[in-house]
Chains A and B, each alone.
Chain A
Amino acid sequence: MAAMTPIRRSRPRPRVWRGAVLALAGAYFLLPLLASFVFTVHVPGQGVSFAAYTELLGAEGFTESLLLSLGLAAATIALSLLLAVPALVAVRLGAPRLAAVVEVMCMLPLVVPPIALVTGITTVLRWGPEHLSRTPLYQTFLAVQDEDFPVVLVLAYTVLALPFVHRSLDAGLRAVDVPTLVEAARSCGASWPHVVLRVLIPNLRASLAGAAFLTLALVLGEFTIASLLGFRPFAVWIVSISGAQARMSVAVSILSLLITWLLLLLLSRAGTTPTTVSPAPATSRKES
């Protein structure tokens, strides 16, 4: 395609607008980051101090909330992949009608804003004490809302993550001829677990990493559901300290951006090493 394209040079008109647009955009997007950094290190009347960053580790609730968020993220990633990978592989192997059902089921959560979902979840959770207090199901309702590890958040986050997981995996599976791979492996005597673990998963590495990254970013930043259900993962913690320690809350916000950036760079590295197409992570991100 590129070889066919003739010389692309248009009239040698100075493209002033392009420079202006990019410069203005750069200023708008960099300014809050720079200003936030200045805000965290410059204390009026006292000069420069990195206390907001150094005191972070010792801050009350920091480690607990971060660990809670990371744990929730790990569980959400595991659950969403365990649910989506077999279903999507099955769809590739089998009936196209099933593909439509799975796609609709995975994409529907996009239509429901998290704040609306949480109203439904609180209603369902209230059924526990109201209607089921005599049944063994009540214990399940309590266990799901355990303070130390709220499973209900994992379930809600998995629902929210499904559209992105589906999109990322679907893009990866498009690049692989699943039926042929499976057929070949099965003819060579491989068992089903072997086919999935040693043949399909390695081919999907980039899109699995993409799905995992998106889910991680989603869970680390999630505020609405956790705060309204009364739990205290990372994002809720940042808001809770903002009143007393404004500097530290901004410092944590900058750090979370840097971490996201780093993860994204790692991901785009990982996405280019296998022979599959690289656009998978870029397209999958567009809707978050």
Chain B
Amino acid sequence: MSAPTTAPRPTGTAGGATARRRRRGPRTWLAALPLLTFTGLCFGLPLGAIAFGAVTRTDPTTGATAVTGEHLARSLQGPYLGSLVGSVQLSALTAFLGGLLGVLIAQALVTSRSTALRGAALTASGVLANFGGVPLAFAFIATAGISGVLTQLADLTDLGWNLYSFTGLTVVYLYFLTPLMVLVIVPALDGLRPQWREAARNNGATGRQFWRHVGLPVLAPSLLGGFVLLFGTAFAAHATAAALVGGSVPLVTLKIADALSGNVLTGQENVALALGLDMILIAGLVMAVYLPLQRRSARWLR
């Protein structure tokens, strides 16, 4: 996080906390209570509704509710399974490419001597990483859509280019994933002390040996953490794809939106809930990998 400063962290927490804890115990709970109540209600309730709806079935005539695995099973079959697989494929590909490009750009920035360039690039990354969603989709439609500027100039359609496809979506997703990777990985690259490289060189190591035995092992948690974060971001993204491709690329977020908003068969809502549950499980898995990795990488990056 704050790499070069002398860390002020331990002073505040460790020294005085023991003496004070006695008096303020009960009041502390009260101040945190609104937050806990709010998350319990506004987050816990929808979450419970997803879990409940995904595994139960209410008979429309009798009103009786019974537990069933039918919705979850349907969410893992046919077009729904296809959309899950499509989402995972797109997320994995874009996370890999975005991670790779992000590391290259970040390394170029870190080794560059121009602080102005570095500052500008990091600010730009901060903005671009947030430039997902609807505006990004329209920027790309204007650039490389059917009547887009670049499409017209370079005759991209004749070259087989189609923005409203898996490839097109990949190019668009990289636009916000790559800056995200730059933001995540620059502190890690900064944490690679020049002294380590010098020490390695003094011991006769080549550049390749340095990266293999020092650089990459230190960076590994950050790299993997960045990849996983990008995967999760791409996996959860809906607005960009919704504004761009509509239904031509099978993505789980688009399928859920269809099932929720379309006038489709009854019971479809429960499949949407089951798909939502599938997504939460995958995203939860992703975060379960990411958070410990981030903690591990923080060890080196004081």
Contacts and interface: CB of A to CB of B under 8 A. Distances in A.
Interface in B1-21: 1-2, 4-5, 8-9, 11-12, 16-17, 20-21
Interface string A235-265: 1001100100010011011101100110011
A160 to B, nearest CB: 10
A286 B184 contact: yes
Q: What's the dominant secondary structure at chain A's contact region?
A: helix
Interface residues of B, number: 104
Contacts, number: 297
A113 B135 contact: no
B220 interface: no
Contact of B105 (A25, A35, A108): A25
A61 B176 CA distance: 28
B276 A282 contact: no
B122 interface: yes
B194 interface: yes
B45 A124 contact: yes
Contacts of A122: 260, 269
Interface in A203-222: 217, 221-222
Given A31-B150, A35-B142, A119 B134 contact: no
A55 interface: no
Contact of A159 (B43, B180, B243, B260): B43
Given A105-B35, A112-B283, A119-B276, A252 B20 contact: no
B256 A119 contact: yes
Interface of B: 1-2, 4-5, 8-9, 11-12, 16-17, 20-21, 24-25, 27-32, 34-36, 38-39, 42-43, 45-50, 53, 101, 104-105, 108-109, 111-112, 117, 121-124, 126-136, 138-144, 148-150, 174-175, 178-180, 183-184, 187, 194-195, 198, 229, 232-233, 235-236, 238-239, 242-243, 253, 256-257, 260-261, 269, 272-273, 275-277, 279-280, 283-284, 287, 291
